[in-house]
Amino acid sequence: MDYYMDDSWSSSFGQRCDMSIEDDSLYLNSHLNHLKIVDYSDNILCVTQLDAGKRIGALYKLKFKYFDLESSLNCTNDFLEIYDSDVDGMTGKEPIRRFCGSDAPNISGIPTQRYVVFRFKTDYTIGGDGFRILATRTLPYPCFDDYFHCKAENRCIDGRLKCDGTPHCDDDADEEGCSVLEKIFGPIIALGVSGLIGVGILIVLGCTGICVGVCVCTCCRKRCARLCCRSRGNVVTPSSGDELVAKKTAKTDQSVVEESALEAPERFDGPMSLVLVMADPTAARSPTPPNDNISPVVGQRPTSVTARSERSPTPAAQQ
Ligand SMILES: [Ca+2]
Ligand SMILES: [Ca+2]
């Protein structure tokens, strides 16, 4: 479960300023910033107490996941103070330590009593990523039946913390030997409500980005196709589409064929010209009519050959 020390939030969103919390495992955060993209607020003053419960020897074990507060001399601007006490509520004691800056605080050996109190204060300017603390309630060994023994520190934790996706023992022994399902759902459970909200926001943003990208690409393809057709001299209306473009192209090709047929006598080139060049010497040696020796290739366009032959008399005819 995640709790926050941002007094600008409502308690319904996990804010626990001036409150006491008793839980086997919890995260205490400066504010909602799991992705480290939002600084904590200015002018915060929040005090939160953790209660390890009535069982003899019950203590909280603390572990900083990250820590980043504005640095200042003697931590006078922004700071986090930690107290411990055997009585309910902070009663004017000196803190165990005051923390600021970006180095993860060394909190080994604290707290040593049932109650641990956090006091978070910020000034009017300059923020940071804040902090995120994993607090685990531990009991002395030997353990109760429904507890798990962390051998590394010889303390006991609630059995429900075994294979829940979050390492609680110093050697992570509570996350070893887990089933496949526990390994799949454990990290999801460990995200907590705020973590799941963050993941949901990322998924929505990702899907939105993909949809926008697809729309932009589709529009660009259509626009590029129109520009390409216009550059070839075709007339395309915005609503014509590919089918109309094909019709226009086919019509244009047909017109070219008809024009070529009309202009064929004047545009006699390629293989036809080659036949005429070779036919002239033959005509000089023999007065045989040219149509009798036309090759099959030339026969495809007999009219053109006849017309060109009449305009270009053979040397024999000139003599
Ligand atoms: Ca500050
Ligand atoms: Ca665990």
**141, 155 contact by CB (below 8 A):** yes
The least confident of 55-64, 69-78, 205-214, 216-225 is: 216-225
**151, 159 contact by CB (below 8 A):** no
At residue 67, does pLDDT exceed 70? yes
When pLDDT is cut at 50, 70 and 90, the band that residue 148 belongs to is very high
* Cα 60 from Cα 56, distance rounded (Å): 13
Q: 282 and 244, same structural domain? A: no
Q: For position 232, what pLDDT does the model report?
A: 60
Q: Tokens 């590394």 identify what position?
A: 152
- Residue at 157 is within a domain: no
Q: What is the pTM for the complete model shown?
A: 0.62
CA 296, 298, 299, 300 torsion-angle sign: positive
Nearest bound ligand to the CA of residue 122: 1
Give ion ligand 2 contacts, CB < 5 A.
161, 164, 166, 168, 174
**Percent of the chain whose predicted confidence (pLDDT) is above 90:** 44
Token pair listed for 148 = 């798990």
Work out how many domains the chain is built from and give that number.
Answer: 3
Nearest bound ligand to the CA of residue 70: 1
At residue 116, does pLDDT exceed 70? yes
- Ligand 2 centroid, distance to 168 Cα (angstroms): 5
**Domain end residue (candidates: 240, 263, 286):** 263
- Ligand 1 centroid, distance to 79 Cα (angstroms): 9
Q: 305 and 241, same structural domain? A: no
Q: 135 and 17, same structural domain? A: yes
98 half-sphere exposure, CB direction, 13 A CA radius = 16
CATH, residue 125 = 2.60.120.290
**Domain end residue (candidates: 111, 140, 169):** 140
- Residue at 60 is within a domain: yes
Q: For position 233, what pLDDT does the model report?
A: 54
Taking only the tens place, the pLDDT of each residue in 274-316 is 444 444 444 444 444 444 444 444 444 444 444 444 444 444 4
* Cα 6 from Cα 16, distance rounded (Å): 8
Longest dimension (CA), the chain: 137
Q: For position 290, what pLDDT does the model report?
A: 46
* Cα 131 from Cα 103, distance rounded (Å): 11
When pLDDT is cut at 50, 70 and 90, the band that residue 8 belongs to is confident
For residue 157, how far is the Cα from the chain centroid?
37
Mean local confidence (pLDDT), 234-261:
49
Taking only the tens place, the pLDDT of each residue in 54-63 is 999 999 999 9
Domain extent, residue 236, equals 232-263
- Ligand 1 centroid, distance to 98 Cα (angstroms): 15
Q: 289 and 245, same structural domain? A: no
- Ligand 2 centroid, distance to 147 Cα (angstroms): 12
- Ligand 1 centroid, distance to 183 Cα (angstroms): 40
Q: For position 220, what pLDDT does the model report?
A: 78
**50, 115 contact by CB (below 8 A):** yes
At residue 230, does pLDDT exceed 50? yes
Q: Which of 224-233, 248-257, 278-287 has the highest mean pLDDT?
A: 224-233
What does 220-271 look like in DSSP terms, one character per residue? HHHHHHHHHHHHTT----TTTHHHHHHHHHHHHHHHHHHHHHHHTTT---TH
Quickly count: other Cβ atoms within 10 Å of residue 75's Cβ. Answer: 18
Mean pLDDT of the chain: 77
Q: 118 and 248, same structural domain? A: no
- Ligand 2 centroid, distance to 182 Cα (angstroms): 11
The count of residues in the chain is 319
- Residue at 152 is within a domain: no
Nearest bound ligand to the CA of residue 148: 2
Q: 250 and 136, same structural domain? A: no
- Ligand 2 centroid, distance to 167 Cα (angstroms): 4
- Ligand 1 centroid, distance to 82 Cα (angstroms): 18
- Ligand 2 centroid, distance to 94 Cα (angstroms): 33
- Ligand 1 centroid, distance to 311 Cα (angstroms): 101
* Cα 121 from Cα 79, distance rounded (Å): 6
**Percent of the chain whose predicted confidence (pLDDT) is above 70:** 66
- Residue at 76 is within a domain: yes
Q: For position 189, what pLDDT does the model report?
A: 67
**Domain end residue (candidates: 117, 140, 163):** 140
At residue 94, does pLDDT exceed 80? yes
Which amino acid, one-letter code, is at 90? M
Q: 282 and 257, same structural domain? A: no
Token pair listed for 94 = 């000196």
- Ligand 1 centroid, distance to 133 Cα (angstroms): 20
- The residues that bridge with 60 in the sheet, in sequence order, are 137
At residue 127, does pLDDT exceed 90? yes
- Ligand 2 centroid, distance to 292 Cα (angstroms): 102
More confident residue, 91 or 207: 207
Nearest bound ligand to the CA of residue 101: 1
Mean local confidence (pLDDT), 30-42:
92
Mean local confidence (pLDDT), 150-154:
95
Q: 237 and 135, same structural domain? A: no
